[in-house]
Amino acid sequence: MTEHRPWARLEVVKGEAEAVAVAGDGVEVAGGALRIFRDDEGVVFVKAASKGVKVRGKEVGEEMTALVDDGDRIKVTGTAWEDGPVEYVVELVESDDGDDDSEHGFVTADYDMGKVLGTGNFATVRLGVCRKTGRKVAIKVCDKAKFARVQHRVGALLDEVSILRALQHPHILQLYDSYETEDHLYLVLELVSGGDLFDRIVDAGKLSEATARRVLRQVLEAVAYMHDEGVVHRDIKPENILLASRKGVETKVSDFGISRMLSVENGTTMGTMCGTPQYIAPEIVARTAYDAKVDMWSLGVLLYVMLSGDYPFVDNAPLTIPEQIQRGLYSEGAKDLCRRLMQHDPAIRWSAPQALTHPWIRGAELVETPFPDADPPASASDDESGDKRRGAPRHKAVVSVMISRAIAALDDRKGSTATAIAKYIAANYDAPPTRAELKRALAAATKAGRITHSGSRYKLGG
């Protein structure tokens, strides 16, 4: 018989009962009143067999499930167990600290909220589990006040909900539910565990053509669908393309915060200046009316970034876009598709259905490699600071994204120091920038207003 090392203990703090060591697939507790177990990713759950089981002071509900974290208290009342009330405290061998969810009110009646998965300018994403079904989800908690300071229109948050409800596609992140309070908007979303495409490109240096083609094909299918439904994303970039898992290549287009639903009533063109500078189409920059073709330009930039590991617009480079495509990409098929997507004139820029017919997208001559394998990186080299690392030099716009993510994750009200930012990036990216690259990117991001600088500390720009 195989012996399993306990991964949790339930110590008795009130009542008459024995302490419980939890190992293997979990155990039943308090005469079967509840079962404590964990999934393959180490997330711990309690499932109540009857009423009278409380976690963190909240009733779990008969045949319902709740998340459990280190230090949580589980109370079993006499109605659930004949031997009388008993209260346990959970001690996990390995655990992640969760945040207090008391402020989230009625949302926790349907979903138990666990650890923080990520943070941004105005939102925090937390692990959740549906109390009725036990399905794990991601709960995006949007702070309305912070959003208004960034986007200047709280109604845009509700637009995102309406758009996500209208879209059902295997390569678009699914919205299961939403809740609204005076201060917050909660989006209950499909949970994915593979991170985003930006991190994968940075870690790999660049992607192989076979992998980039597979990613682009899936995103094109999603964009063709959303355009057919009248939705323009307006912020397609690697950071907004999620991976369903760390193995394989299944993508999910996410973050519809600045998307727009076009119709005869709402209009078929737009004029708002928005998007991420490295990915926005020329007609947006020119502040002229534009349509869904702006997403196609962004997809052209995405293709270039995946295959080259850099942006097609290098500072002070006296090259036209076709010249940069010729220089930065390898195969003629990829070059041809990229040129068709990055046409200055949107009238001749290819649509998503057209792009899906391109020979490079349909071709099978390349042997697909497991994601995130990439073409061999350049050999390590020294820069003026004496640092050495793997891969090609990082463009400061790429490093700027890393910096913004680091500041958001560190979440220091006083601001983050350059040292703290550098340590975070080094811990989260396989090929971090050199000190000189980080210094240049901090200066550029400050000048552009993406971050602010006071003394030795940096904060996200408003």
Provide the annotated binding site for ATP: 140, 239-240, 255
Residue burial 223-235, b: 16+ Cβ < 10 Å; e: rest = bbbbbeebbbbbb
Cβ within 8 Å of residue 272, ≥6 positions away: none
Binding site residues, as ranges? 140, 239-240, 255
Kindly give, in sequence order, each residue whose CB lies less than 8 Å from that of residue 421, ignoring residues fewer than 6 positions away. Answer: 403, 406, 407, 410, 438, 442, 458
CB atoms within 10 A of CB 342: 24
3-state secondary structure of 423: helix
Q: For residue 290, which of 276, 304, 300, 280 has the smallest C-alpha distance?
A: 280
Q: Are 262 and 271 in contact (CB under 8 A)?
A: no
Active-site hit among 235, 345, 373, 382: 235
Residue type, 174: Q
| DSSP SS3 for 74 | strand
- Which residues does residue 139 pair with via DSSP β-bridges, in sequence order? 126, 188
Q: Give the chain's radius of gyration (CA, Å).
A: 25
Element at 202 (helix H, strand E): helix 197-204
Active site residue 235: yes
d(CA 421, CA 433): 11
Q: How many CA within 13 A on the CB side of residue 306?
A: 30
293 token code pair: 């073709």
**Residue 66 to residue 86: CA distance in whole angstroms:** 18
Residues 6+ apart with CB under 8 A from 162: 261
Cis omega (within 30 of 0) for bond into 372? yes
Q: Any alpha helices (H) in 312-411, and if so which ranges?
A: 321-328, 332-341, 352-356, 359-362, 396-410
| CA–CA gap between residue 41 and residue 37 (Å, rounded) | 12
Answer yes or no: are the C-beta atoms of 415 and 458 closer than 8 Å: yes
* String of DSSP letters for 131-144: TTT--EEEEEEEEH
φ, ψ for residue 134 (rounded to 5)?
A: 80, 5
Distance linking the first and last C-alpha atoms of the chain: 60
CA angle 89, 110, 22 (to 5 degrees): 30
Q: Active-site residue numbers?
A: 235
